Structure 1
Amino acid sequence: MTGPQRADDGVQFRLSCAADRDALHGIWDRAVRATHGFLSPAHHAEISRMLHRDYLGRAELLVAVRAIAAREVLLGFMGMTGRHIDALFIDPAASGCGLGRRFVAQARRRGVPLTVDVNEQNTGALGFYLHLGFVRVGRSPCDGDGRPYPILHLREPPGSR
């Protein structure tokens, strides 16, 4: 893929299917390696196995794709529970072209306010959500599985969008 392009440059959104599992896992792995340098190698491997086995291919995910040379290239994905963004990962090769903002716009179709949890050490993601108007409403000292990675709980203020 060439450098960042406009988010409306051929990008389409669709629901994931089981056949997307490996490509989605690759997106997750590349994105996490680029943004989660704080994860220990053992925790990265543990989360990777769990994600591939239990989440990807089973969860209903929104996927961003672009047709390139007569084939579909996956660019990123988002998972939600109700109005909570559970996961939002963009392939680093596609970052910087507005896909994150477009995913959040898609999420808002479910209603607002949205909520999201962000690793405290992932300053890029935190800055992204704060820029979109989310505010911090809480903090947990560990992630949902008890690993030592603090989680910030964010929410859009009521009536903000």
Structure 2
Amino acid sequence: MTALRLRPASGCSDVPALVAIWRSAVDATHDFLSDDDRDEIEKHLAADYFPAVRLTVAELDGRAVGFCGVVDGDLAMLFIDAGERGRGIGSALIDYAIEHEDVTTVDVNEQNTSALEFYRHQGFEMIGRSETDEAGRPYPILHMRLAGDADASGN
């Protein structure tokens, strides 16, 4: 793999690429999400969700291929372009988030089994479950924290 570069998001100039990455990743991994719910979430990315987190962008050859967003030690989002999955980009982003952003917790859709296994492989364990997502949609959320991090809040 070409050298991966991680950098802070550059405000508005990164938004179109990050939305495209989000859509690619969601289309590949969130088959449980209704089209209407997916479109509604996408409408809020730039205005509501991205500004609420500290975004880190992963680049290959100057092209954004993934990103993560962190708030208060929680990995609020991690998305990799579908064509780049399996190349270690997600692992690099989560390692960065743990080391530099003090990430100790993450929430994951229960139906997204590949993400659940990914986070388990990265050292997270389940500490709770909610029947719906944060907007009240019928997508159960699993709350996870880094194994051995008893001080992490369990949401």
Could you tell me the TM-score, scaled by structure 2's length? Answer: 0.89
Deviations 1:10-47 (A, max 9, x none): 21011111101001000000000000000111101100
1:13 pairs with 2:10:
no
- Cα separation, partners in 2 of 1:23 and 1:119, compared to 1, 3 Å: same
Contact 2:104 2:149 in 1 (8 A): no
| DSSP-derived class of the 2:68 partner | strand
1:61 pairs with 2:55:
yes
1:11-160 pair list within 5 angstroms: 11-17=4-10, 18-56=12-50, 59-67=53-61, 72-110=62-100, 114-158=104-148
- Structure 2 distance, partners of 1:131, 1:93, is 21
Q: Gapped runs of 5+ residues in structure 1?
A: none
Moved beyond 4 Å, runs of 4+? none
Tell me how large the CA RMSD over aligned residues is. 1.8
| DSSP-derived class of the 1:144 partner | coil
- Aligned-pair identity in percent equals 42
Greater relative contact order (CA < 8 Å, ≥ 6 in sequence): 1
**Deviation of 1:110 (Å):** 3.8
Q: Gapped runs of 5+ residues in structure 2?
A: 151-155
Contact 1:16 1:57 in 2 (8 A): no
Structure whose residues are more often helix by fraction: 2
- Structure 2 distance, partners of 1:66, 1:117, is 27
Which of the pair has more CA radius of gyration? 1
Could you tell me the TM-score, scaled by structure 1's length? Answer: 0.86
| DSSP-derived class of the 1:109 partner | helix
